[in-house]
Structure 1
Amino acid sequence: MTSFTELMARLAPQGDDFSIEIPEDWMQGRTTYGGLTAALCLQAVRRAFPTLPALRSAQISFIGPAGGAVRLSPVLLRQGKSMTFAGADLVSEQGIATRAVFAFGAARESALNRTFMAPPEMRPRETCEPYIPEGFGPPFARHYESLLVKGARPLAGSSEYDHWIWARHKDKQATDDVALLALADLPPAAVVPMFKTFGPISSVTWGLNFLEAAPTTEAGWWLMQSRAENAREGYSSQDMIVWNSAGEPVITGR
């Protein structure tokens, strides 16, 4: 398998763009794992503009399938006093696959420094069973460890729509914001555990807010909550939160 760190290092500059060959072990059906395409966009932006401040938000549109040889085109959209916006397109032979817009911001003086979310129940990892058992799931899942905290596994025919898992990269060097962005897409749509057999379901776009400039956690483990809001006509919407091992929220998204 190609580790996450090794794959990021393979991103090769070509003029103002970057290129990379995505290996089969990072695929999800006929396309690349969405978390990886988002991470490649962020990595290309970070490589093109290395002095950017902390990542504050990401808006990802999954437009088409991607696989094999792809090109990434980063662009600086606007650089202000405290906020900088940059984006990247990931393009494959079939056309544009992913479009990402990122907001980066330096820390500012703030009248409030607190969270308004209740802390999660931190079930010990040693009491949890595997979320995606070894040898199951799509190829990209082999790059991650995951444990079911609450809810149900995919295709369980469950009535649950609020799911909690512990997850981490198997690659112990994958610890930066690019790696966390890739990991945050690991849980499938929150309604998938309600299915008995797989059917069309898509969230199409993905928006995230990064709540900490440099989030950390114990031994690479992050607690992820994914809660369904609506599913209709083959599309779904959901809320998600990523917490660190201390019970502090580091990402909110939908």
Structure 2
Amino acid sequence: MVDFVALTTPRPVAPGRFSLDVPDGWQQGRGAFGGFSLAVLVRALESTEDVAERPLRSLTAELCGPLLPGPAEVSVEVLRRGSGQTTVAARVVQEGAVISHAVGILARARADTTTHLEIPPPRLTPWNDVAPMPSQEWPTFAKFFEYRVTGPFPFSGHSSPVTETWVRLRPPCPKLDAAYLTALADATWPASFSVWTEPRPVGTVSFTLQLFPPFDGVAADAPLLHRGQVLVAADGYSVEQRQLWTEDGRLLALNHQTIATIR
């Protein structure tokens, strides 16, 4: 059984320092898929705060290079702890090189109760009404996720660079938390795959995520609808917006990625 929480939780070795054993089998290309690295960073950031009081609300990260199976080091620095917000930086280092870096905003709820949602909710095809996508052999990590596609399939030559699919970890994650949602935002193929007709190697180089806690009432094994769209593509880079929705139409996460087409 795969315990995603245990795999992505670095072990403390000193104040602000952690160790990590990167498992084999989670690769996208040479290194672990970006969502794995990002989940590790989130758990490291969260180690500085009581997340029930100050949950992660915003993450800005750069993925500098491949995170290879084997040992790695994680460090955390509190940049500022204010009365309502903590700003924390974390990085993963392997063989002396920075592999990934992130800054997180962990903050308490404010008194303002104003709510707006200007993003149109998707028209949801129920999870149980969609056949599971056949088990994927490429990339390697995809075998740990279940996809039920409600939009264009990857490499189908579709007219628009969009994606829409239900997705969840298998076996289910022990708990639905910020780190799991961060990984899930990265677990689906880029929207550009929908217009391509054959696989090409790609990699996320920058990643920003806004989370909308609390996540009360959302089961750990609940499928979430991923919806993605390329906003602009040029010079071998695309900027993509991604969203994660619950079955009852609640937006949990909003993600922007800059994705490089390697060749």
Q: Tell me the TM-score normalised to structure 1 length.
A: 0.91
* Match runs of 1:107-186 below 5 Å: 107-110=109-112, 112-131=114-133, 133-153=134-154, 155-172=155-172, 173-186=174-187
CA distance in 2, matches of 1:50, 1:82: 12
Deviations 1:64-90 (A, max 9, x none): 111121111011111112111112101
Partner residue, 1:13? 12
SS at match of 1:163: strand
| Alignment partner of 1:31 is 2:31 | yes
Equivalent AA in structure 2 for residue 125 of structure 1? W
Residue 215 to residue 156, structure 1, CA distance change in 2 (3 Å): farther
Partner residue, 1:85? 87
Instruction: Select the residue among 91, 95, 98 that pairs with 1:96.
Output: 98
Q: Is the 8 A contact 2:162 2:194 kept in 1?
A: no
CA distance in 1, matches of 2:238, 2:163: 15
> Alpha-carbon deviation of 1:226?
0.4
- Stretches of structure 2 that go unaligned for 5 or more consecutive residues are 257-263
> Alpha-carbon deviation of 1:135?
4.3
Q: Is the 8 A contact 2:144 2:169 kept in 1?
A: yes
Deviations 1:108-135 (A, max 9, x none): 111512322222111012232334x214
> Alpha-carbon deviation of 1:233?
2.0
Equivalent AA in structure 1 for residue 4 of structure 2? F
Residue 21 to residue 203, structure 1, CA distance change in 2 (3 Å): closer
CA distance in 2, matches of 1:145, 1:78: 39
CA distance in 2, matches of 1:119, 1:65: 35
Q: Tell me the TM-score normalised to structure 2 length.
A: 0.88
CA distance in 1, matches of 2:216, 2:238: 29
Q: Is the 8 A contact 1:243 1:249 kept in 2?
A: yes
| Alignment partner of 1:192 is 2:193 | yes
* Match runs of 1:30-69 below 5 Å: 30-47=30-47, 49-52=48-51, 53-67=54-68, 68-69=70-71
**CA-atom RMSD in angstroms:** 1.9
| Alignment partner of 1:72 is 2:74 | yes
> Alpha-carbon deviation of 1:174?
3.6
Residue 15 to residue 94, structure 1, CA distance change in 2 (3 Å): closer
Sequence identity (%): 25
- Stretches of structure 1 that go unaligned for 5 or more consecutive residues are none
Moved more, 95-104 or 18-27: 18-27
